[in-house]
Every structure is written in structure tokens, then in C-alpha cells.
Structure 1
Amino acid sequence: EKGDNHDEGVDMEFSVGFSEDDGEPGWTEYTDDETGKAFSVNTKEILGMGGNGSVLKGTWDGTGEALAVKIIPCSSIDVLQSQLLEVKTLQSLQHPNIIQYKACMVLEDELNIVMALEYADYGSLETLTEAKYPPSERELTNYIADALRALGFVHSSGIVHRDVKPSNLLVCGAENGVKRRVCKLTDFGTAISIDVLQTQNDCHGTPSFMAPEMFVGEVGFFSDIWAIGVTAAYCIMKRVPYDDDLVAQPMKLMFAIVEGERPQIPEEGPEKLLSMIAKSVNEIP
């Protein structure tokens, strides 16, 4: 996992609730609770900041393999136990288009979860879209196809992601015989079992990428399909596909979507993606 760092000046000792040891400045060592393997975290190299944690650069001790380490601060033991669901979800989802779980250490005294994940060399689709040289039409089509493969596997496992968006789709180098960069789904912090959804009526996600049904607690696999359509539109248009005044006011955007506002369909772009976008943002994709 590799996020987008918009908080260069954040002091991670305060934001994630742990301190450095007496070793190399900026580095803290942790041990996987299950295997005992050690990994280190650079508390000064922030890869991204999210709603439920921070992502820092790390490495496996001994091999030096790069890791993305997510630090999840919790307000209580009950919250910590709830957040461990993300760890369990990732452990169960082994797929070439999903960022892989590597290790985890639970710090109950400090109410922190330290989770090591696969490192994505090229960052997120959000970062790449905003770059000077964004993905070509062919590359973007491949990346969205990768994301759909990931969602197909997640859904077949009975799980709804609930926060599909460009910053949660990361790009890794060629691997496993695939001769191109590969897009992978990450951040399962709001993922939930479809069975649990039958008894819950809450709202999670990022408003610009949420299906209208999500705002009233009606969530299903279709919610993720809507989100991947909006994500594809974002990558083609290089902006959120709603009017700027709505995007600037999330509550206003939320009410507009519930009342029938729909994402703008790009006028130009890869034919396969344009067709997919149009189909995905229907009431029932």
C-alpha cells in the first residue's frame, strides 16, 4: 500500500501514538504477532493519511523488502477489536489484484494496530491521474479491469468494500508473469460482510464515489460497481465527475445524489470504459 502524502509536517509520534526506540533515528521495530518476524517502520516517512489511520514506509528486517505499514489508533479496546476485522479480512483475501497482508502487531497498552502490507511502487490511481504523464488509455483500461477482477473476488467472498476510489487503487510493478504494471485494491477498513449488512443501517464511504442508496443505508455489491464507474470517470476527466460547487460541499453533494444527481459521463475516452461507466451508474448496475 502506498498513499498520497499531503501532510509533510505531521509529527507521527503524536498522530499515531507511538515513540521511537533508541536505534536508528526515525525507525521503530515491531514483531508480527503470529510468526515473530521483525519489521521496521520509518516514523518520518509518511506515505499517506486516512480517516482511520496513517501509512508509513517500512521494511522487513534482514531482507530489506519494502513495506507499507498502516498504523491504526483506537480509542478503546472495543474499537481495537472492531478494527482487527480489517486484518482478518485482508488475511482471507488472497488475490493478485488485492494489496497483500504481510504482518500485524497489536499494541493493546497503546491502543494501536500496526499492520504491514505490500508496498506499491507507483502509488495510487489518484496520484497517477494528477501526474504530468498520466496513464495511457490502454493502461487505464487495464487498471480498471484489474480493479473489477479484485471486486469480483471480494464479492464472491461475500464482502462489500464500501470505499472504492482512485486513492484506494494502487499500482505495482510487473509480477507473476504479467508483463505490465498491475492495479490492486486496498484499504478494507470499511469493508463488511454482506450477511452483517442485513442487520446494519449505517453510512460509510467517500461521498463523491458513493451510490445514492448508500446514503440511506442500503448497501450491496452494486455500491462498489457504482464506485468503480465513478473512479473510471475521474481518471478520464482528471477530476471528480460532478459540478465543482457540489464537490466543494459534501453535504450538498450527498443530498443532490439522493435526489437524482448523476456523475457526468466523459465525452471522450476508451470505448470500453465509457460503456462501463454508463452502465455502472444506473440505479441498479
Structure 2
Amino acid sequence: MTGNPLKPPKQPLKTPKRQWSISDFDIGKPLGKGKFGRVYLAREIKSNYIVALKVVFKEQIEKYRLHHQLRREMEIQTGLRHPNVLRLYGWFHDDERIFLILEYAHGGELYKELRKLGNLSERKAATYIASLTQALAYCHEKHVIHRDIKPENLLLDHEGRLKIADFGWSVQSRSKRHTMCGTLDYLAPEMVENKAHDWAVDNWTLGVLCYEFLYGVPPFEAESQKDTFRRIMKVDLSFPSSPDICAEAKDLISRLLVKDSSKRLSLEKIMEHPWIVKNVNPVCPK
């Protein structure tokens, strides 16, 4: 495959009036593998635009009855336009596979950076939290709750800009929801207790992520699933002595990890918080 993925064309990929097909793309190296399919680097031949092509096998969709979930994911993500939300440009299918045409994030998963470094600096953590907060504010304005924010679902582009990806558990709704979904360490207490939930579950996850960015592990991690559930329900939160994190960062985390969802810090207040204001780099974290 030719083309420089570090310098994509300035114009975004245009969705043609005709139907996409696999012949419209040069397929490059694999970028990742999931339970239901794989992601490949690809180049749209006509425009030379570099994308990520997510290939989902219909057999897996049938087996796990994911038709509704996949359709909802595609409908939600296609309608979102924000610099910190990964674009879904379109999709097509053949007899065996469904192809999602996604924005290519050259930097890969934030999870890999976090595992490599162990933990992030306060400046970098604050910058990522601010970017994520702005993206979630945009999603919530459109009544979209992500419900599965975690480092594996946060990607970085070639400039280090954070992108929310994977809207598989997302829902677009003005009313409270009852489905328990997401990933264990990031679940809000109301989900663990099978109570109705709303957008505030995303705010809770911001607190979990902020803690994990700074300390390298999620705050309620335990040896068993039962113990993790118990710690989340009790909001059993403690701050290790190392690394040495400032009091303002701990204050932000403590005001997000609140059991009563109505008392969690709002996204607007997060952006005004002294730790965010003091640390956020308006360009990109280095």
C-alpha cells in the first residue's frame, strides 16, 4: 500500500453517491484484532485517503445476536463530528463481512502508551481528561451516552490528539437506561447495582480514568470480580503515597467518584477545575 499515513489529505474523506466496495481500497497491515473481527490500515484509491477498515464477520453477528447493537453503533458514530471523536465515514458489506470505514488514528490505543509508561504526568493526564470532557460534553448534548470509556477505546492521532472510539455500548436517549454494560473496572455504582442510569455514568468513568492515568491502575481494582463490585459500591477510594500527586488532582477525582450520580462534578465544572486550568496544554501533550 502506498501513501503516507502521517500526512492524510486536508480534505476529509467524501462519501460517494455510489455504494462503497472492497475494490475501492488498497488493504495494508493489520492494526488490531477483536472478538468479532479485525481492523486494517487501508487507502481509498480514488482520493489516496488513509483510513482504518474494521471488518466484522456476519457469522459472529448472527452467533451473538449483535444486529441491533452494531446498527446502533454505526448510526450514532456516523452522526458525530468532533475533533476528539473518531469519525465513522461509512460502511458497506459483502456476503460474509461488514466493513466500517473509520478515521485512522496513527498513535494507536492510549492503553498501550499507559502500559509502556506506567503512569502519565499530571500535565499529560489533565490534557487528555480535558479533551475527553469536551468530547463527552458534545456527545451528551446530542443525548449520546458512551458507557464504555476506557484506555483501550481511546486512540491518539498523528499529532497526539485523543479520539474516543468504539461506540458499541453507546445509546442515544433522553431517558434513563437499565442495561448493565461496559467494562468491570469502569462501571459506575448505579450500573453495578442494576439501577437506572444516565449520562452521569460517563462522568464517573472520567474519575476512574483520571486516577488510572496518574497512578497506573484503576482505583477499584481487586483480585476478584466480586471484590471489585464491592469496592465500587462502597466507593472504596484511596490514594497511594507514590507517585506523589497534587491535592488538586485528588480533589477532582474525589468529586467525580461520588456514589450519588446527581452530585458528581458536571463536565462544565471539570473544565473550570483548578487542576485542569493549571495543567492543560492548549496544543497537544508531549
* Alignment TM class, shorter chain as reference: 0.7 to 0.9
Task: Report the residue type matching 1:206 in the other structure.
Answer: T
Equivalent position of 1:201 in the other structure: 178
Q: Is the 8 A contact 1:209 1:230 kept in 2?
A: yes
Q: Which residue of 2 aligns with 1:139?
A: 124
**Residue in 2 that maps onto 1:39:** 25
Taking a change above 3 Å as real, the CA distance of residues 234 and 51 of structure 1, as seen in their structure-2 partners, is farther
CA–CA distance in structure 2, aligned partners of residues 133 and 66 of structure 1: 31
Contact kept? 2:78, 2:90, Cα under 8 Å: no
Q: Which residue of 1 aligns with 2:92?
A: 105
Q: Match of 1:172, as an amino acid?
A: D
Which amino acid is 1:146 matched to? Answer: S
Is 1:279 the counterpart of 2:243? The answer is no
What root-mean-square deviation, in Å, do the aligned CA atoms of Structure 1 and Structure 2 show? 2.7
In structure 1, give the amino acid aligned to 2:137.
G
CA shift for structure 1 position 36? 3.7
Q: Which residue of 2 aligns with 1:220?
A: 198
Output one character per residue of 1:55-106: Cα deviation in whole Å (capped at 9) or x when no partner.
3322222444332222233117974354121111111110111011122113
Determine the structure 2 residue equivalent to 1:57.
41
Distance 1:252 1:49, change over 3 A: farther
Give the equivalent residue in structure 1 for 2:82: 95
1:80 aligns with 2:56: no
Any gaps of 5 or more consecutive residues in structure 1? 1-31, 175-180
Q: Secondary structure at the match of 2:108?
A: coil
**Cα contact 2:76–2:172 (8 A) shared by 1:** no
TM-score, normalised by the number of residues in structure 1: 0.73
Question: Match of 1:19?
Answer: none
Aligned-partner Cα distance in 2 for 1:242–1:158: 28
Specify the alignment match of 2:211 in structure 1: 233
The alpha-carbon distance between structure 1 residues 274 and 252, as it changes in their structure 2 partners (threshold 3 A), is: closer
Contact 1:126 1:235 in 2 (8 A): no
Which consecutive residues of structure 2, in runs of 5 or more, have no partner in the other structure?
1-14, 265-286
**Letter matched to residue 258 of structure 2:** N
Pair 1:164-2:149 in alignment:
yes
Q: Deviations over 1:104-134 (max 9, x none)?
A: 1133x32x32101111121222111122486
Report the CA distance shift for 1:266/1:187 in structure 2 as closer, same or farther (over 3 A).
farther
| Residues 220 and 232 in structure 2, CA contact (< 8 A), matched pair in contact too | no
Per-residue deviation, 1:256: 3.8
| Shift, 1:194, TM fit | 2.6
> How far is the alpha carbon of 1:34 from its aligned partner?
5.3
| 1:262 counterpart SS class | coil
